[in-house]
Structure formats: C-alpha cells, structure tokens
Amino acid sequence: MAHRWTNDLTDRDVTPEDVYLTRRQWLAGAAAGAALAGIGGPAAASGLEPNTWDEITSYNNYYEFGTGKDDPAMYAGGLTTAPWSVTIDGLVERPGAYAFEDILKKMTVEERIYRFRCVEAWSMVVPWNGFELADLLDMAGVKPGARYVAFETVLRPDEMPGTRFPVLDWPYVEGLRLDEAMHPLTILATGIYGRDIPNQNGAPLRLVVPWKYGFKSIKSVVRITLTDSEPPTSWNKANPREYGFYSNVNPEVDHPRWSQATERRIGGGLFSKRIETQMFNGYGKDVAALYDGMDLTKFF
Ligand code: MTE
C-alpha cells in the first residue's frame, strides 16, 4: 500500500547526516542490533539518536508479565506469538480474523524513528519498523458511522504470569479517536532495528502513537474494533483522575503525583540532565490541529 508519510522529513531535519548514514549501514548489516549496542551510548544526548537495542528491550512496561521494569524481558519469552491473528470488527466493511502474515504481505513496513515518552517521565528514542494503522483500517474498510477505534491485547493467563494479579482489569485495552488512528504518524510496529519486535516490546505487533504517553501504545494486539462511542481504556478505568482518554504528552498538565515538565532519557547516564518535555512530544506541527478548540486541561 502507498506510503502516506515521508519518514525522512521527520528524521533528517533533526538527525545529523553522519548519524543517519551510519544507522543505515548498521541496518544493512545482519548483526544490526549487536553493532548498535556498543555505539549508542556516548552521543545519546542529541536529536533523535536512537537508544540501544539493549536499553529498548530490557527496560519495559508490560504488566501482563509483572510490574518490574525487567520482568517483561525475563518472562515474556513464554508468550506464543505464532500463529497470530488480529480480529478486526465493529463498524467495518470486511470484518474478520486476519492472519498476521497476510496482513504483513499487504502492508508497507518502513522505519520510523520516534521519541517515546512514558507517563512515568522517562523517555527513549526507538527506531521502529512498522506500517501505518490507516492502511490496515483501509484494508478492513471503515464504515461511515465509525468515530473511535478500540484495541485489545491478548489475554493468556497460562503464558502471562502478571495477569494472575488484579493490577489492571485484563485484558489490557486502549482506544483512539478515528482521526488519531488514521493519522500518518500512528503505526503498528512489527520490528525494532530491523529485527522482529521482541515479546517484551509487544510482539508480534503493537500500536505506537508517538505524541501520546506510552501507555496508549498497546502491545500484542489481537482485536481492533471500530465503534461509534469512546471505548474504555485500561489506565483510565484504573484511575480516571490520573489517566485520561487522550493522554497527549503535555508538559503543562502535570500528573496529580508528579510534574510532566521534564523527562529522564534512558541511557543518558547517572549525571545526565533531565530534558524538557515537548508539547505533543515534539510532534505538534503534525498533530496539534487534531485538537483545535479543545481544552487540553479538560481533555487530558
Ligand atoms: N500494553 C500492554 N498490553 N500492557 C502494558 O502493561 N504498558 C504500556 C504500553 N503498552 C503496557 C502496554 C506502557 S505504560 C508503556 S510506557 C509502554 O507500553 C512501554 O513500551 P516499551 O516496553 O516497548 O517501552
């Protein structure tokens, strides 16, 4: 399917050319991740310098495998990710269970280097591989009455030890407004550094919405439902005062228990300065218009 977005425009204007070229070379090599692990540290402060493979895959939130940052890397290996299918239903022309391989055959997978900002005030830069969610929704055919998109993570208590505890109301669910879902920056990621996405990061496919807090980026998606009303979302159900439906990155709206003005970039080292959080995580030029006329302190 056609690209709606020229990735180079989002990367090249902030990434020094030599870094860009080097990264391309790494990607060309078979051991892309291994090569990067040794190089990612020193220059991590500037622009969209990606975090290392090790950082991205060992410091995770995936509560189905435990609430510790290293739990997902330790326990997510037990999740069976093949075969995999995604059910697309609700207000679509062609509902059904779509096999992951069949989806991949029809989609254009490309690299997207995005800032990733967790609501807990840490951040990374991740070189995702993925395709635009809009292309998948077009494949299923969105019906005119659809206004929202609901997402659901697989729920397998036998393989997901964390779901034995009522930390959240399982399965993990998330949602977007249809225009957010159709935005060209919104992707379903299938890889990192050109390799298959590891289980702890949400294999075999997970949502990435770079201008929103990380918890909107739901992992290991098995269901996508087009609806006419705002769907429930896991963190909003757990604590509506702290986590809104929109959850756009916004340095001016503090979390009730901490400031959102700054963030800690993972991998920056013990003495690295916190960096200023940007409105819409730096993607305002592309997405601010989606929220024209909305009071973002009310729709947080
Ligand atoms: N998806 C599911 N199913 N379960 C989770 O616990 N955690 C969210 C999000 N998606 C989560 C999830 C949160 S809080 C964050 S910050 C990101 O995943 C973390 O993604 P990463 O581990 O790839 O950095």
pLDDT digits (tens, 9 = 90+) for 10-62: 443 434 444 443 443 344 333 344 344 333 333 334 478 999 999 999 999 99
CA distances from 212 to 135, 145, 159, 164, 287 (A): 20, 25, 29, 28, 10
In short, whether 63's Cβ falls inside 6 Å of ligand 1 is: yes
Ligand 1: distance of its center to the CA of 144 in Å? Answer: 31
Distance 167 CA to ligand 1 centre (A): 14
Q: How confident is the model at residue 77 (pLDDT cuts 50, 70, 90)?
A: very high
The pair of three-digit structure tokens given for residue 97, joined into one six-digit string: 């269970």
Dig out the tokens for 72 from the structure: 């997902």
User: Is residue 93 included in any domain, yes or no?
Assistant: yes
Exposure letters 37-56 (e unless 16+ CB within 10 A, then b) = eeebeeebeeebbbbbbbbb
C-alpha of residue 214 to centroid of ligand 1, in Å: 6
Q: Is residue 3 part of a domain?
A: no
Q: Does residue 140 fall inside a structural domain? A: yes
- Position 19 scores a pLDDT of 45
Q: What is the pLDDT of residue 8?
A: 40
pLDDT of residue 163: 98
214 Cβ inside 6 Å of ligand 1: yes
Q: Is the pLDDT of residue 149 over 70?
A: yes
Residue at 2 is within a domain? no
Any atom of ligand 1 within 6 Å of the Cβ of 33: no
Q: Does 218 sit in the ligand 1 pocket, CB within 6 Å?
A: yes
Pocket of ligand 1 contains residue 243 by CB under 6 Å: no
- DSSP-H helix ranges across 17-89: 17-28, 32-37, 53-58, 71-75
* pLDDT-derived band at 119, boundaries 50, 70, 90: very high
Region 107-115: what's the mean pLDDT?
98
Is residue 162 a part of any domain in this protein?
yes
In a domain, 178, yes or no: yes
Is the CB of residue 240 less than 8 Å from the CB of residue 256? no
Going by C-alpha positions, the residue among 90, 279, 246, 76 that lies closest to residue 160 is 76
Residue numbers of the domain that contains 145 = 11-291
User: Is residue 52 within 6 Å of ligand 1 at its C-beta?
Assistant: no
Q: CATH number, domain at 109? A: 3.90.420.10
What's the burial of 168, exposed, middle or buried (CB within 10 Å: 0-12/13-18/19+)?
middle
Cβ of residue 219 lying under 6 Å from some atom of ligand 1: yes
Kindly state whether residue 121 falls inside one of the protein's structural domains: yes
pLDDT at 270: 79
pLDDT in tens, 217-232: 999 999 999 999 999 9
Q: pLDDT at position 197, please?
A: 98
Q: Measured between alpha carbons, how far is 185 from 293 in angstroms, rounded to an integer?
A: 21
The total of structural domains in the chain comes to 1
pLDDT in tens, 181-191: 999 999 999 99
Q: What is the mean pLDDT of the chain?
A: 89
Residue 155 contacts by C-beta under 8 Å, 6 or more apart in sequence? 64, 163, 170, 171
Q: Is residue 201 part of a domain?
A: yes
CA–centroid distance, 190 to ligand 1, in Å, is 15
